[in-house]
Amino acid sequence: MKDRSKLITEQRNLNTLDIDDKSTLEIVDIINTEDSNVIKAVHNERQNISKSVDLIVESFKKGGRLFYIGAGTSGRLGVLDASECPPTFGTDPGIVIGIIAGGLDALTKSIEGAEDRHVDGEQAIIENGITEQDTIVGIATSGTTPFVHGALIQANRIGATTIFLCCNPDINPTADVDVIIRPITGEEVITGSTRLKAGTATKLILNTLTTTSMIKMGKVYENLMVDLQVKNVKLKDRAERIIMTVTDLGRDAADKLLDKANGNVKSAIVMHKLQTSYKEARKRLDECDGFVRKVLNNDNL
């Protein structure tokens, strides 16, 4: 058995030794104070996060995909971030994919021992048909998860781009990887419970990876999610408000424009700004790789 006793994430936090003797408000304040350190830890990794984004975008442009691979909380956070990309950015569900040790059942309950099987990680890469065009983010806050290491080894053999995310210093993946993102969040509030600070750092980083990548792929205009999918009442309301914000149209006019644009916010904006048809708007967006700003700037040249 691997000795994990020296890992920072397994050390006792001197600030929380008597947390069991505190009032409810005091416990809440202690947790909040510890969480405040996470932002700096993530900020310190901004260069590696940026490098990772560029690699992910490169994969997308080649027709590749982004895979998150993890176990337990790390795996759940990967699946969560992947599942939010289609409604937010209008991506195909097969573009950003989360893989968790133990399969879908592990999303809602602990699958004991799933993370310990190195070979299962390798098999996950094979079963998902991962190619050299894809990018793999192996998430292991402790840095020691066999499932994740196995996946990275197999991805490396295939020639895929590989990124390793962990929260401990001096822990390296078994396989060579292209980038290591290593936010050092320190000792946890409850010893070894990496669903806390390490999990928060992971959530922040995964959000940043996909959000920045989608911006770089033209999924955002100004700071608006113009590629969202209008799949429910809330998203239809947001789509209409985005159109209203960009075009200064009223609600009824925005609703009619969205309908003429077949529910596509980008097309609706271009149609109004350039006073053109849906077909022409789609053509211009395609010519500009989906970037609304490029379409509008080109028309002003």
User: Which tens digits make up the pLDDT trace of 259-289?
Assistant: 999 999 999 999 999 999 999 999 999 999 9
| pLDDT of res. 112 | 63
What CATH number has the domain bearing residue 245?
1.10.8.1080
> Per the structure, how many domains does the chain have?
2
Angstrom distance (rounded) from CA 21 to CA 123: 46
Dig out the tokens for 37 from the structure. 């350190």
Catalytic residues, by residue number, are 84, 115
Residue 250 lies in a domain: yes
As a whole number, mean pLDDT of residues 194-211 equals 96
227 part of a folded domain: no
At residue 132, the pLDDT reads 97
Q: Give the residue from 145, 40, 42 showing the smallest Cα distance to 101.
A: 145
Q: Is 3 part of a structural domain of the chain?
A: no
The amino acid sitting at 176 is D
Q: What is the pLDDT of residues 141-185, one digit of tens each?
A: 988 899 999 999 999 999 999 999 999 998 888 789 999 999 999
> Confidence class of residue 229 from pLDDT cuts 50, 70 and 90?
confident
Same domain, 149 and 291: no
Nearest Cα to Cα of residue 183 among 29, 37, 4, 57: 37
Q: pTM of the full predicted structure?
A: 0.91
Residue 46 and residue 199: Cα distance in Å, rounded?
A: 17
Output the average pLDDT for the chain.
92
Q: Is residue 1 part of a domain?
A: no
31 and 142 part of one domain: yes
**Model pLDDT for residues 240-260, shown as the tens digit of each residue:** 999 999 999 999 999 999 999
Stronger pLDDT, 115 or 81, i.e. the higher one: 81
Contact status, residue 252 vs residue 262, Cβ threshold 8 Å: no
Identify the pLDDT of residue 10. 85
Burial class of 235 by CB neighbour count within 10 A (0 to 12, 13 to 18, 19+): middle
CB 163 within 8 A of CB 175: no
Residue range(s) defining the domain that contains residue 151: 8-216
23 domain-assigned: yes
Whether the Cβ atoms of residue 41 and residue 201 lie closer than 8 Å to each other: yes
DSSP calls for 166-201: -SSTT---SS--SEEE-----S-SSTT-TTTHHHHH
> Same structural domain for residues 192 and 239?
no
Query: Could you tell me how many helices (H) and strands (E) the chain has, helices first?
Result: 11, 5
50 and 186 housed in the same domain: yes
Percent of the chain at pLDDT exceeding 70: 96
Answer whether residue 2 is part of any domain. Answer: no
| 172 and 243 assigned to the same domain | no
Instruction: Examine the domain organization and report whether 28 and 159 are in the same domain.
Output: yes
